Homo-oligomer: A and B are copies of this chain.
């Protein structure tokens, strides 16, 4: 193949355009909690292919400005949400010959969960993007195989949540344990037992009590409010829930 030449000579001769390569994209499933629903950010495609359909934010790598794969993901999210998403989790990479009409295509799927507030006003200004409640997404016409990608990300989110204290950093602070439990339940799509939930969360020592607040619904016993303890970042990947989920 390249006998008898040095590596420098080889690189000199090499031109990537001499070879066929697939399309390479990045897609991001960005989730948030708002008004007691789990929501996902979708973008209405303005270009072919699949013009007019809803899609996950994402796109091609900019070989000049991006130096890491997740730089592309961060850049695309910044364009659509106006904020920098710190924790991007890679979910899966899907590649085949039929998912994009333009030909062989590979996409790296990322996932993140962000608080709703900081993004809300900005997204209104991006006319082709909006938050969709996750339950309504299956009624939408989605581009490419994005219905499948949404499903993969949603499953990962369920699992991830069971293993981490992730929702703590998504709620408006301070929050009550009831609110925190509701957040966990939304993300995990499961019902948690109240006493077990409180035991685990409090034993983990990741919360700090900061006073009292009004209960859900305005009436009833006042509730204790909490915020993440200073050292709670380090517990971000602590296992908090086991099999303590019913469906």
Contacts and interface: CB of A to CB of B under 8 A. Distances in A.
Chain copies in the assembled complex: 2
A24 B106 contact: yes
A69 interface: yes
A101 B12 CA distance: 11
Contacts of A191: none
A93 B96 contact: no
A69 B94 contact: yes
B61 A104 contact: yes
A49 interface: yes
Contacts of A68: 95-97
Contacts of A1: 46-47
A61 B106 CA distance: 11
A109 to B, nearest CB: 9
B90 A67 contact: no
The 10 tightest CB contacts between A and B, nearest first, are A69-B95, A10-B48, A93-B93, A68-B96, A63-B104, A67-B97, A93-B108, A20-B63, A1-B47, A7-B48
A34 interface: no
A104 B90 CA distance: 19
A28 to B, nearest CB: 14
The SS class assigned to the A binding surface is loop
Nearest to A17: B17
A112 B59 CA distance: 30
Contact of A10 (B19, B20, B49, B97): B49
A60 B5 CA distance: 22
A97 B14 CA distance: 16
A19 B104 contact: no
A103 interface: yes
Contacts of A94: 69
Contacts of A101: 7, 11
A138 interface: no
Interface in A1-33: 1-2, 5, 7, 10-11, 14, 16-17, 19-24
